[in-house]
Structure 1
């Protein structure tokens, strides 16, 4: 007799053998998003040369994708509650395919950017994958497999970025989109074959599109406030316009949700300590740690005056690839431990250790090998432990009547937090001075302390017993 685990929400049994195929499919779906970032980034100079645009303009290739993916993560993940997970993933992959084809044959920069808008739909892929996983496997398996998918969301041990550079150098940037299209096609076939059909039994009503529009305006204004504020000053005219736009649209979103019969996000749950501290902890964690790993240390390592004076390739090998490799192994282990030890408790432990590591960096940032050792350590604490637990909490803490709502908002907090963290330290790092780099490291550490404080407010959601 074939053993299986029950899917409590869709009431569909999934055989244990099928869980492996489902996991592979979900990883491929996540990689369609990750590859659109990691593989395309090294090709930005080639895109600028090929399409005759400036370096400042070509930066929009990544920033636009991040913005659209934040919106898609909130809207499309919630839509899946009404149309079903499989159908939502199919729509996402079809949109991604259309965008990828546009990018492959883009005659100019405008068409390329339109393609990137379509590709931004993949931002909902990893939120959806986490929800599908929770509905498809037992709680014992959930943590470990979630860790595997989280590791995939960080890339393929840095190899994907290196491969993107090789393809760009030898065949041009369009060849990267050929690879992405192939991965997307395989993922599409996998979704049709392995992802359960149907929708959660707890979902009633219809999609709240007015709320979706309001939250889209919130995210657009907030993202532009962060980018404009860091570049032109937080009190500049445009920064203030985006700030007030964010505030007004947030108020509008609140009132729309209060009146909606099936809101995009049940705002009454924002008062609950099962929900709001998860979002703020994610936001603050990304603001603190992401800026150090993916910006401050990268800039420090290549600075020839007070930094290490390394090349871009050496920087990637020393300070980016090791953490990604360690995350491949530590994320599944962290998910397994969190399932047994407690997701909130394991997150707090990770944050405490990570703060200690950031303190070492803040005190000894001038020592290249101390920084290298700290990055190795954060491969476990951040890439594995912290990212796995905050992703998991975004799923298991969600309100029952909107099972994917918190996952989408938590995903948006990833993007906003990363942008905010870089925006706060960028002016200091841009000084290119010892005091500038030092202050940037201290600010990031202080923000991470606030993330720990925020995590202390999280109340674990009671686990329902079958």
Structure 2
């Protein structure tokens, strides 16, 4: 059940209050848009970065790998901090860190400093759970589905929109720093908006941080993710890949045993093993994989020259973004905006199942029919419907199963 926060009431209330809530949802949507843009905007320009810095593709790939590793380590901890402290304060601190990372990336021509900047930007992944936790404090129960669908739709749309903007910025022989200057300016604007609009409520949770649990979770997740991201470079049967994967799994098993016995665990094992939470997390993995395939996989596919590989369209970054990705991103955003009504009426589980059916159709479509432009666009539209419905339903399932004081970390 939802727990009503200090800023909520059971009804829509005064028109001025409704306007403030609407402005809050829009502002948090912009916060989430920051997450989406930073997730996807860098990948299409990795080759440009390698050329302009005179570095190898393998070395430059660490701009993505280091970002993912840092996100895996930091997001659960930051989510817990948001549960324990003033959520607005934690939100603003994260945005400041992201701003520093974006500014560093925009001004440096050193690959090590660029990778360090991407590590700082990785804190942006925590902005989504913090925003959901803030919504739960400020929005009435009967409006939560619609509000979360706006944030979810923005998350899905932002990934595609970020690729479109990158395509426009990088036309010709543009300097890759343009992308990071854009993220710097956008993050600064979002920081100001959040400081003005987001209410500053007293801390709602109690307890402390299980630092050993945080360290174990960060180390275990990072090691497993390192094996997944570097397996193609190191070799899937190499000692590095196998050692990293096995070591990470061993650490995660130890973390699991520790969290079961800890008086105040970072993450409640009892919460994680609830049937709904367990399958929600498994579903989240699938939706996340679908997002990266729909945006980045299709981008790479359409850019491959057909006369070289026997497939692909030889599209430029701009063509891939505007022609192939933008229709799906727009369709996903529209679906997300209306998905909240269906979640409120039918529940999150049926909506998630409908989204999964759309995803199956889309991915089967592009697997079997990908020789024409319209086929790729259609497949991408279906995949975006899947992503939007999934990102709308999944947080609703989580929120329905946990106490308000555990929203961020859950």
User: Could you say which TM-score interval applies, normalised by the shorter chain?
Assistant: 0.7 to 0.9
Q: Classify 1:148/1:47 alpha carbon distance in 2 versus 1 (closer, same or farther; 3 Å).
A: same
Deviation at 1:198, TM superposition (A): 3.4
Give runs of aligned pairs for residues 355-374 of structure 1, distance below 5 A. Answer: 355-366=360-371, 368-374=373-379
Residue 242 (structure 1) aligned to one of 234, 241, 244: 244
Give runs of aligned pairs for residues 49-68 of structure 1, distance below 5 A. Answer: 49-68=51-70
CA contact (8 A) 1:10 1:199 kept: no
Q: Deviation digits for residues 185-218 of structure 1, max 9, x if unmatched?
A: 22222222222323554x2211122111111111
Once residues 299 and 41 of structure 1 are traced to their aligned partners in structure 2, the CA distance between those partners, rounded to angstroms, is 10
CA contact (8 A) 1:26 1:149 kept: yes
CA contact (8 A) 1:225 1:240 kept: yes
Aligned to 1:293: 294
Aligned to 2:402: 398
Once residues 273 and 239 of structure 1 are traced to their aligned partners in structure 2, the CA distance between those partners, rounded to angstroms, is 32
Q: Classify 1:132/1:400 alpha carbon distance in 2 versus 1 (closer, same or farther; 3 Å).
A: closer
Q: Deviation digits for residues 36-58 of structure 1, max 9, x if unmatched?
A: 23443444344323332122222
5+ long unaligned stretches in structure 1: 1-5, 407-466
Q: TM-score, normalised by structure 1?
A: 0.77
Once residues 297 and 100 of structure 2 are traced to their aligned partners in structure 1, the CA distance between those partners, rounded to angstroms, is 35
Secondary structure of 1:284 counterpart: helix
Residue 383 (structure 1) aligned to one of 383, 387, 392: 387
Once residues 236 and 155 of structure 1 are traced to their aligned partners in structure 2, the CA distance between those partners, rounded to angstroms, is 38
Once residues 97 and 370 of structure 1 are traced to their aligned partners in structure 2, the CA distance between those partners, rounded to angstroms, is 39
Q: Deviation digits for residues 345-403 of structure 1, max 9, x if unmatched?
A: 211122134323433443434555334322223332x1322222123323333345522
CA contact (8 A) 1:82 1:199 kept: no
CA contact (8 A) 2:133 2:404 kept: no
Q: Classify 1:157/1:52 alpha carbon distance in 2 versus 1 (closer, same or farther; 3 Å).
A: closer
Q: Classify 1:67/1:48 alpha carbon distance in 2 versus 1 (closer, same or farther; 3 Å).
A: same
Once residues 106 and 358 of structure 2 are traced to their aligned partners in structure 1, the CA distance between those partners, rounded to angstroms, is 44
Secondary structure of 1:204 counterpart: coil
Q: Classify 1:179/1:229 alpha carbon distance in 2 versus 1 (closer, same or farther; 3 Å).
A: closer
CA contact (8 A) 2:65 2:226 kept: no
5+ long unaligned stretches in structure 2: 10-15
Q: Classify 1:190/1:298 alpha carbon distance in 2 versus 1 (closer, same or farther; 3 Å).
A: closer
CA contact (8 A) 1:398 1:404 kept: no
Residue 327 (structure 2) aligned to one of 322, 332, 338: 322
Give runs of aligned pairs for residues 31-70 of structure 1, distance below 5 A. Answer: 31-70=33-72
Give runs of aligned pairs for residues 203-222 of structure 1, distance below 5 A. Answer: 203-222=205-224
Q: TM-score, normalised by structure 2?
A: 0.87
Aligned to 2:85: 83
Bigger mean CA offset, 263-272 vs 250-259 = 250-259
Q: Classify 1:333/1:185 alpha carbon distance in 2 versus 1 (closer, same or farther; 3 Å).
A: same
Aligned residues: 398
Once residues 30 and 109 of structure 1 are traced to their aligned partners in structure 2, the CA distance between those partners, rounded to angstroms, is 27
Secondary structure of 1:405 counterpart: coil
Aligned to 2:13: none
Residue 183 (structure 1) aligned to one of 183, 186, 189: 186
Aligned to 1:457: none
Q: Classify 1:32/1:244 alpha carbon distance in 2 versus 1 (closer, same or farther; 3 Å).
A: same
Aligned to 2:198: 195
CA contact (8 A) 2:362 2:378 kept: no
Give runs of aligned pairs for residues 313-462 of structure 1, distance below 5 A. Answer: 313-366=318-371, 368-380=373-385, 382-406=386-410
CA contact (8 A) 1:80 1:199 kept: no
